[in-house]
Chains A and B, each alone.
Chain A
Amino acid sequence: MMFKRIGMLPSQIEFESLAFVGASAADVTVRESSTAAPRRDAPAGIGLQLHGLSKRFGEREVLSGIDLRIEPGEFVAIVGRSGCGKSTLLRLVAGLEDASDGVLTLDGEPLAQHQGDLRFMFQDARLLPWKRVIDNIALGLDAADARERALEALAQVGLADRANDWPAVLSGGQRQRVALARALVHAPRLLLLDEPLGALDALTRIEMQSLIESLWQRHGFTALLVTHDVSEAVALADRVLLIDDHRVALDERIALPRPRSRGNAAFAALEERVLQRVLQTPGVEVAEPLPASGWRFAV
């Protein structure tokens, strides 16, 4: 149970110590619906292939020549310093941004053919405040059984009793659960998670991580998680990718058995290794150089 604290970020230390308080993090209870939902048309995961994918915003290069294969059903976490382009990569896969160069395919076919197979979970829950929880989840469903499916998804995230509440009265963690249910109700084959737990407190994060893991195991979708929390990445992912200097700098396979316990020595060693690698990377210069011949203010 000994941890080397050297080189750990303050948030990590707080996170770990909290995990110890709550006995073992893996058995933090998550309310599961008693009625095990039948798997609807068994959404098997979809494979993802990137070939020389690049993205530039004007002159600024964000990603260059990313080559990547993600197997169907795999859980992949992407870590990196802020501003390294990890979120941009996720948005490219989601089709929210267009690549400047390169090819992106899902099961070998272009992205446009699979828009309905992928769902995106945002850092902020982005619930429609004027729709009740249940109608938020049913957004974009037009089948006759939309309501039942939405209720079923809500039960899977343990919030069946909040169906008729307004999003404004939910806590941050509950909003993210609703957002997760809204993504799952479409039975996605690829779930993209853009730091969805970034704004939650440490205990709620651990609860949400086990929830995401159990739902991933049950539904078998491919998951791509962007996070700045290395511990979270090691706890959830089959593979951890580090984006640095516009490309994939580290591709670490996490072979630990599930459910993973953060107290485990192998876990700690892996987390340490990835974290050290992240810290080696130089910080990204955020400020753009000012044009030399522009107006300058004295102050």
Chain B
Amino acid sequence: MPSTSRSPSGPTFPAAWRRIAPWLLPVGVLLAWELSSRGGWLSTRVLPEPLAVVKAFWSLLLSGEMARHVATSTGRALAGFAIGGGLGLALGLLTGSLRAAETLLDTTLQMVRNIPPLALIPLVILWFGIEESAKLFLVSLGVFFPLYLNTFHGIRSVDKGLIEMARSYGLSGWGLYRHVILPGALPSILVGVRFSLGFMWVILIVAETISAQAGIGYMTMNAREFLQTDVVLVGILLYALLGKLADVLARALERWWLRWNPAYRVAA
């Protein structure tokens, strides 16, 4: 992933060096890993050599097996995100906007928030069995709270001066909401989205290792049974890549929606 270096650059520090420098450590680690595997100091039961991981990646890609697992996992992640995130957003907007809703719901939600979703796994298995709905439930629960809390906070922290101005300029009801409150809360809501996307993968990984017939988690658990450490590593890499992809998308959204904010403007 090409990243832009933010370090202050002196004229004696050439641009090419600054581009290469961040990659020296990871490449060095890979080289050391490869060499120690070939030299026999590192058992393949502990870690396969990097080349084997690349080969496994390639063969899984060619066989179409990877596409199937990735599609299944992504489908679960997105469905869970849509359900949990949608509910979090809706309830956050409700409790943020209406005092009555806050009084009624917030205490309950704050109590539930302190339960780690993964602590519910035994109960979830009893309720939903080991089917898809169990995974969806866990992912939804995981993404709900970051979005709920940040939406609530975003609505509450909209500049009161702007609301007063808008009211005195004749805005009220939906107009006030659309032009002032929602855009004002958006930076905070997007922070919630990014937190949620992080949680989404974490929960999904665990949920898929409980029991599944497809998905990246199933792939890695299956590989473990046969001591295929290279495939396990491919699965871990896939999670890392998908997580990064989700984050890149969320950042792109931020840059577009918050382009009015100097803090999010793309450096020209």
Interface of chain B residues 210 through 268 with chain A (CB within 8 A):
258-262
Given A131-B179, A139-B179, A168-B261, A126 and B162 contact (CB-CB distance below 8 Å): yes
B111 to chain A, nearest CB (A): 33
Let me know if B162 and A128 touch, CB within 8 A.
yes
Q: Which of under 10, 10 to 19, 20 to 34, or 35 or more describes the interface residues of B?
A: 20 to 34
Minimal beta-carbon separation of B182 from chain A (angstroms):
10
Interface check A110, CB cutoff 8 A: no
Q: Is the C-beta of A219 less than 8 angstroms from some C-beta in chain B?
A: no
Query: How far apart are A130's CB and chain B's nearest CB, in angstroms?
Result: 4
Q: Given A122-B161, A139-B166, A166 and B171 touching (CB < 8 A)?
A: no
Chain A interface residue count, Cβ-Cβ cutoff 8 angstroms: 23
Interface of A is mostly: loop
B179 contacts across to A, CB distance below 8 A: 128, 131, 139
- One digit per residue, 1 when the CB lies within 8 angstroms of any chain B CB and 0 when it does not, for chain A 122-157 equals 101010111110000001100000000000000000
Bound together, the chains give a CA A124 to CA B186 distance in angstroms of 22
Q: When A139-B179, A166-B260 are in contact, do A126 and B165 touch as well, CB less than 8 Å? A: yes
Q: Is the CB of B162 within 8 A of A139?
A: no
In the complex, A168 Cα to B259 Cα: how many Å? 11
Q: Are A122 and B261 in contact (CB under 8 A)?
A: no
Name the residue in A95, A96, A124, A130 with the highest tally of chain B Cβ atoms < 10 Å from its Cβ.
A130
Shortest Cβ distance from B180 into A: residue: A128
Q: Does A94 lie at the interface of the complex (its beta carbon under 8 Å from any beta carbon of B)?
A: yes
Q: Mark B161-201, 1 if CB is under 8 A from A, else 0.
A: 11011101111000100011001101000000000000000
Q: Which residues of B contact A95 (CB under 8 A)?
A: 168
Least CB distance from A228 to B in Å reads: 20
Asked if A120 and B261 make an inter-chain contact with CB atoms under 8 angstroms apart, the answer reads: no
Partner of A140 from B161, B170, B259 at Cβ < 8 Å? B170
**Which residues on B sit within 8 Å (CB–CB) of A177?**
none
Taken residue by residue from 25 to 44, chain A's Cβ proximity to chain B (1 for < 8 Å, 0 otherwise) reads as 00000000000000000000
Query: Which A residues are CB-close (under 8 A) to B170?
Result: 115-116, 140, 186
A186 surroundings in chain B (CB, below 8 A) = 169-170
The distance from the CB of B160 to the nearest CB of chain A, in whole angstroms, is 10
- Binary flags per residue of A179-207, CB closer than 8 Å to B gives 1, else 0: 00010001000000000000000000000
A196, chain B: closest CB distance, angstroms: 13
B161 touches A126 (CB 8 A): yes
B260 touches A129 (CB 8 A): yes
Q: Which residues of A contact B164 (CB under 8 A)?
A: 96
Contact B169 A119 (CB under 8 A): yes
Residues of B within 8 A of A130 (CB): 183-184, 186, 258, 260-261
Q: Could you tell me the distance in whole angstroms from the C-beta of A189 to the nearest C-beta in chain B? A: 14
Residues of B within 8 A of A126 (CB): 161-162, 165
User: Which residues of B have CB within 8 Å of A132?
Assistant: 260
A96-B164, A131-B179 known; A140 vs B171 contact (CB < 8 Å): yes
A139 and B169 contact, CB distance less than 8 A: yes
15 contacts between A and B (CB under 8 A): A96-B164, A116-B170, A122-B161, A124-B161, A126-B162, A128-B179, A128-B183, A130-B183, A131-B179, A132-B260, A139-B166, A166-B260, A167-B260, A168-B261, A168-B262
Interface residues of A (CB under 8 A from B): 94-96, 115-116, 119-120, 122, 124, 126, 128-132, 139-140, 166-169, 182, 186
Besides A119-B168, A126-B161, 11 new A-B residue pairs in contact (Cβ under 8 A), listed by A number? A94-B168, A95-B168, A122-B165, A128-B166, A130-B183, A131-B260, A140-B169, A140-B175, A166-B260, A167-B260, A168-B261
